[in-house]
Amino acid sequence: MSVRLIICETCAHAPGEKLRDGRTGGEALLAEVERAARDAPGVAVERHACLMGCEHPCNAAIAAEGKIGYVLGRFAPTADSARALVEYAALYADSPTGQVPYRQWPQGVKGHFIARIPAPRADTAKE
């Protein structure tokens, strides 16, 4: 099953610092995540314009059909942050529910979770 690792491409580098070297923090993080995910089968990196977490950039979301989803933020747009996000996404992919035991979390994602989004329930889907 493919996991969507969605990076907010419009995030600032930090509150009040939108651009650095002509790129947003989100664009910088996206480039690092795309590099880190090259060897991560099943992790599909996507870009999205604004995840509405502007108070704590840089933001990412992780989602897959039938699984709980997550929004994470407060990342520096670095290779270390990207590796941690991709490593977590791979662990998420291996979980039937999307929940990964805390002891398995990469250090680089600890303290970065902002929201948990319940998976849609089949009994509430409209036909």
Q: pTM of the entire structure?
A: 0.92
Per-residue pLDDT at 16 exceeds 90: no
List the chain domain ranges. 3-117
Confidence of residue 127 (pLDDT cuts 50, 70, 90): low
Task: Work out whether strand 3-8 and strand 43-48 pair parallel, antiparallel, or are unpaired.
Answer: parallel
Per-residue pLDDT at 125 exceeds 70: no
**Cα–Cα distance measured from residue 75 to residue 92, given in angstroms and rounded to the nearest whole number:** 19
**Cα–Cα distance measured from residue 103 to residue 21, given in angstroms and rounded to the nearest whole number:** 37
**What's the CATH fold of domain 3-117?**
Glutaredoxin (3.40.30)
Confidence of residue 126 (pLDDT cuts 50, 70, 90): low
Give pLDDT tens digits for 22-81.
Answer: 999 999 999 999 999 999 999 999 999 999 999 989 999 999 999 999 999 999 999 999
**What is the DSSP annotation of 66-99?**
TS-EEEE----SSHHHHHHHHHHHHHHHHSSSS-
Contact between 48 and 9 (Cβ < 8 Å)? yes
Q: What is the mean pLDDT of the chain?
A: 93
